[in-house]
A and B are shown apart, each in its own frame.
Chain A
Amino acid sequence: MTVEAGIGYALIALGPSLALFVSVVSKKPFLILTLLSSTLLWLISLIVLSGIWRAFLPLKSTIWWPYAILIITSVGLQEGLRIFLWRAYKRLEDVLDAFAERVSKPRLFLTDKMQIALAGGLGHGVAHAVFFCLSLLTPAFGPATFFIDRCSKMPFFLVSALIALAFGTIHTFSMVIAFNGYAEQNKVDQVFVPVVHMVAALMTLVNFALEGCLVGIPLLYVMAILTLMHCGRMVWRRLTEN
């Protein structure tokens, strides 16, 4: 039950992403490159953040407000990163279209654009799951497990895998929403994404209370489902319009 448990936790966190990767991304080399570069960007943002916060660590685990500031700055930086990604993507799209004309192939289809956005978002989601869940999972392969005081009902690995799954979903699909919102100049979508991200991140503060994870995780999943539904509706609308 040790190796199995470790693999199970990893699959909880990354299973849906893996399915998306296999079914959508892996068939198109360009999407794989998009995914890798967006993962790398996310990693760089994390390193920058940790460089900024390194001086203040370790934070006292009894006071919650430093964590709130930490989360707000982190989400702010990552949302800034998303705008940068959008700019980069815009230029890329022009290059791709120019290239498509040269080889006399059709320009990018709407679905192509969405797939690129999906791969970019998947990169963020995978990076989150890898660094916040998978890299802490090594002990789960051993003959013991680990509980933290504030959440004594579930092993830490299970909690982090569940949270990683929720965030992976949010990251993946909010990128699709955001890119579409930028492309359509749709203010609602443009605001929706940072707000969802921020709210979801702040919800993890609920875990700070004793046994707060029993409340915080369901709330987080509400946000994830909200993102998913919004994304589904938007994609459906775009596809039927075209």
Chain B
Amino acid sequence: MESSILDSIGGEIIGVMSPVSICMFLVVLLVYALSPSNPFSAPASSAPIRTAANLVYVENPSDSVGQKLEGALLNALVFVVLIALVTFLLVVLYYYKFTRFLKYYMNFSAFSVLATMGGSIFLSIIQHFSIPVDSITCFLLLLNFTVVGVLSVFGGGIPIFLRQCYMVCLGIIVAVWFSKLPEWTTWVLLVALAVYDLVAVLAPGGPLKILVELASSRDEELPALIYEARPIAPQSGGDRGSSLGLLVAGVSDSGSVEMQSVSRDNPRRNETASNHGDDGIRSSRSDEGGNSRDEGETSPLVSNFRDRDSSSSRSSEFSVVNITPNRGGQFGNRESEIEEEMSPLVEMLALGSGRERERRDDGENDRSSGRGIRLGLGDFVFYSVLVGRAAMYDLMTVYACYLAIVSGLGCTLILLSVRRRALPALPISITLGVMFYFLTRLLMEPFVVGVATNLMMF
């Protein structure tokens, strides 16, 4: 039978949700698998890891609640201030066009995250499951993994699928490290980051807002690590985009919806310092400039068309990827482009703690029907941290938090299609996630366990 609209609606949302779900699922598995005989936790229990996230206060299970809360607040404050400083530094660097430096810095940070943090996680997996591997093989494999990862994240000509896989990998690695933070610090930190994200993306003068505007006025890619959900079937994108808008708004012109979110995180974390970075989350819509990123190939197409046939443009995008930050600006195009496709995120600043924001262009909405949604890597990381932390309590909290985060993400995406500008992706999801965690833990669990162990169900 003829294809009904059900087949096409909602594809973009699922395109973003599925990698987030995969990332969270793998983090939960890793946390579960590694926690009992965690090689990190053995040393960590005697000497807790010192990271940028707990510079001030090292949580001790025997401390009183007041002490923990105070210490956790201080930790979160210091961490957020660090992130803000790093973000501003990046904005300044970007403003003065140290793009090459930024690019190499991001390459380096991706390399170090994959090699050192990823390496230690692999080591602990090898130890935990007693996988027989000799050190030379292991070293070679790790080196290959890392080099391919750096190339695929920053270079061009690599299949988008591989890039997406590596983005998810980066998210997982960073999130697993973050989940080693003590409990109170984690919760306070998550809330603090959500608030910071909100301010940095939306407040006038917020670093991420400045960065997005700067990037769009130069028609460059945002310097950041961003996951981009690219429509698999480009043609359909137009419809979907519009459909989302429609659904959302109830009514609207079909063309208008685009969202993109872009985020960046830069955390650099070294092993020692687990990280700090900034996260910026932002999504910028390409219209404004974002589009240009794909530059080489796409750009011509892009600029010319503002119409909604985005399909052509999209296709082009795939191919390209260079990342030169300065690509010429065509920025008149805002309307025309459709960023969705912008495949390459060219520059990534850092990966770290990202935050992301999503934004869409305002101007263009009408024209471009295509859309790609971009989500900062930071969002991946902190969603997964929340779920990973929930996994240390019980499976029930994991499910509740997962549902809450995914629905928060859905709400953010819908808002994106209404507001059409970069939005922070953390606040709604993290708020819902934290709320559901505590509701589940305090209210639901005794209820469900009490009822189910008596075999009463409904």
Q: Are B246 and A32 in contact (CB under 8 A)?
A: no
Interface size of B by CB at 8 A reads: 50
- B247: CB under 8 A from chain A? yes
- In A38-68, the 8 Å CB interface with B consists of 39-40, 43, 46-47, 49-51, 53-54, 57-59, 61, 67
Smallest CB–CB gap between A149 and chain B, Å? 10
Q: Are A207 and B247 in contact (CB under 8 A)?
A: no
- In the complex, what residues of B have CB within 8 A of residue A57's CB? 446-447, 450
Q: Are A33 and B14 in contact (CB under 8 A)?
A: yes
With beta carbons under 8 angstroms apart, the residue of A37, A43, A46, A163 that contacts B455 is A163
Counting chain B CB atoms within 10 Å of each CB, the highest count among A32, A75, A111 belongs to: A32
User: Which secondary structure dominates chain B's binding surface?
Assistant: helix
Give B435's nearest chain A residue, CB to CB. A47
- In A9-50, the 8 Å CB interface with B consists of 27-33, 36-37, 39-40, 43, 46-47, 49-50
- In the complex, what residues of A have CB within 8 A of residue B5's CB? 96, 99-100, 103, 105-106, 108
Q: Are B443 and A201 in contact (CB under 8 A)?
A: no
Q: Are A105 and B4 in contact (CB under 8 A)?
A: yes
- B251: CB under 8 A from chain A? yes
Distance in angstroms between the alpha carbons of A54 and B446 in the assembled complex: 8
- B452: CB under 8 A from chain A? yes
Smallest CB–CB gap between B428 and chain A, Å? 13
Give A26's nearest chain B residue, CB to CB. B14
Give A202's nearest chain B residue, CB to CB. B458
- B410: CB under 8 A from chain A? yes
Smallest CB–CB gap between B393 and chain A, Å? 11
Q: Are A204 and B457 in contact (CB under 8 A)?
A: yes
Give A71's nearest chain B residue, CB to CB. B458
- In the complex, what residues of B have CB within 8 A of residue A58's CB? 446, 450
- A164: CB under 8 A from chain B? yes
- In A171-188, the 8 Å CB interface with B consists of none
Distance in angstroms between the alpha carbons of A138 and B32 in the assembled complex: 11
- A82: CB under 8 A from chain B? no
Give A163's nearest chain B residue, CB to CB. B457
Q: How large is the interface on A (under 10, 10 to 19, 20 to 34, 35 or more residues)?
A: 35 or more
- B7: CB under 8 A from chain A? yes
Q: Are B10 and A30 in contact (CB under 8 A)?
A: yes
- In the complex, what residues of B have CB within 8 A of residue A197's CB? 458
- B275: CB under 8 A from chain A? no
Distance in angstroms between the alpha carbons of A47 and B452 in the assembled complex: 15
Distance in angstroms between the alpha carbons of A70 and B456 in the assembled complex: 10
Q: Are A51 and B10 in contact (CB under 8 A)?
A: no
Q: Which of A129-137, A221-229, A230-238 contacts B (4 or more CB under 8 A)?
A: A129-137
Distance in angstroms between the alpha carbons of A2 and B254 in the assembled complex: 53
- In the complex, what residues of B have CB within 8 A of residue A78's CB? 458
Distance in angstroms between the alpha carbons of A53 and B436 in the assembled complex: 17
- Given A40-B407, A132-B452; A204-B9 close (CB under 8 Å): no
- A83: CB under 8 A from chain B? no
Q: Are A32 and B10 in contact (CB under 8 A)?
A: yes
Q: Are A61 and B4 in contact (CB under 8 A)?
A: no
Distance in angstroms between the alpha carbons of A192 and B99 in the assembled complex: 67
- A85: CB under 8 A from chain B? no
Q: Which of B165-173, B288-296, B309-317, B395-403 contacts A (4 or more CB under 8 A)?
A: B395-403
Smallest CB–CB gap between B362 and chain A, Å? 22
Distance in angstroms between the alpha carbons of A125 and B421 in the assembled complex: 37
Smallest CB–CB gap between A41 and chain B, Å? 10
- A169: CB under 8 A from chain B? no
Q: Are B449 and A36 in contact (CB under 8 A)?
A: no
Smallest CB–CB gap between B447 and chain A, Å? 3
- B440: CB under 8 A from chain A? yes
By Cβ-Cβ distance, the 6 closest A-B pairs, closest first, are: A50-B447, A135-B396, A201-B458, A207-B455, A29-B10, A29-B14
What are 19 contact pairs spanning A and B, CB under 8 A? A27-B7, A30-B6, A40-B407, A43-B400, A47-B444, A50-B446, A59-B450, A70-B456, A95-B246, A99-B5, A103-B239, A103-B254, A105-B3, A128-B457, A135-B395, A136-B453, A148-B455, A150-B454, A216-B455
Residue ranges of A at the interface with B (Cβ–Cβ < 8 Å): 27-33, 36-37, 39-40, 43, 46-47, 49-51, 53-54, 57-59, 61, 67, 70-71, 74-75, 78, 92, 95-96, 98-100, 102-103, 105-106, 108-109, 111-112, 115-116, 128, 130-138, 148, 150-151, 156, 159-160, 163-164, 167, 197, 200-201, 204-205, 207-208, 213, 216
Known pairs A49-B447, A112-B4; list 17 more (Cβ under 8 Å). Answer: A27-B7, A30-B6, A31-B6, A43-B436, A50-B444, A98-B251, A103-B243, A103-B254, A109-B1, A131-B448, A135-B396, A135-B448, A138-B394, A138-B395, A160-B457, A205-B456, A207-B454
